[in-house]
Amino acid sequence: MHAIIFRGCNGLGTMFEKLVANSDEIGCFDTVEILHIFGCPDWVGVGSNAKFDMLPNLKDILFLDFRNISCILDIALPLGLKFSRLQYIRICRCSELTYLISLGTKILALENLLAVFVNHCEQVEELFKFDQNSGLDSVFPNLKSITLRGCPRLRFLSELNIAFPHLEEVVVEDCPLLKKLPLTHQNVGTIKEIRGERKWWDALEWENDDIKNLYTPLCLY
């Protein structure tokens, strides 16, 4: 089995609860690389956590119209997911999402993450909410693309200074409160394109004008 796709399923939380409770007997699903969840309105979370990663080779997750999750850890923690091979995160119309990832300490392995896409999540305020003990220097060493659309409350990618050394593309649409991008002199050689509205670009805050001038030619309105 290469992919697991749930579409409008009732009882998803109950099913996950049973999987976790019987995880020692069931084992992990090591052939699954794709997890897509569409709808599934009755998800209320899982009461206990798996003892090991039940999807150790997961590469692609997509949550669409998936209510009752405030961040993707609401799914990851119960199933023991470490995301050690995860490459793509796509979150669309998840009305209660506040953070994409929120951690007190670094318990996930996100070294292989390549792209993040967040679309019309009206409550999201910050993508990556970490504290000072999260191992920030190596959280996203290979992230290349960030796409953000229709997130009117989004204020930060992260309040902390996270490095994105291989970032190539940033797309921002209808995110008027996002005033800063994680762009420094370090990224000049990697960034290929920035896309967003002219009004948004003009309102961005920069460390200094030199950095802004370096990136202005790369912005497409």
Residue 5 burial by Cβ neighbours in a 10 Å radius (0-12, 13-18, 19+): exposed
Single-letter residue type at 24 = D
Query: For the chain, what is the domain count?
Result: 1
Please state the rounded mean pLDDT for residues 152-170.
89
Residue 170 burial by Cβ neighbours in a 10 Å radius (0-12, 13-18, 19+): buried
Domain that holds residue 190: 3-220
Could you tell me if 126 and 119 are in contact, meaning their C-beta atoms sit under 8 angstroms apart? no
Q: 16 or 131, which is more confident?
A: 16
Q: 113 or 107, which is more confident?
A: 113
Task: List, for residues 170-212, the tens digit of each pLDDT value.
Answer: 999 999 999 999 888 778 889 999 999 999 999 999 888 888 8
Task: List, for residues 134-152, the tens digit of each pLDDT value.
Answer: 555 557 889 999 999 999 9
Task: List, for residues 31-82, the tens digit of each pLDDT value.
Answer: 999 999 988 766 666 566 788 888 999 999 999 998 778 888 888 888 888 8
Round to whole Å and give the CA distance between 9 and 30: 23
pTM of the model: 0.90
CB atoms within 10 A of CB 105: 11
- In terms of Cα–Cα distance, which of 114, 56, 106 is closest to 81? 56
Is residue 132's pLDDT more than 80?
Answer: no
pLDDT at 114: 96
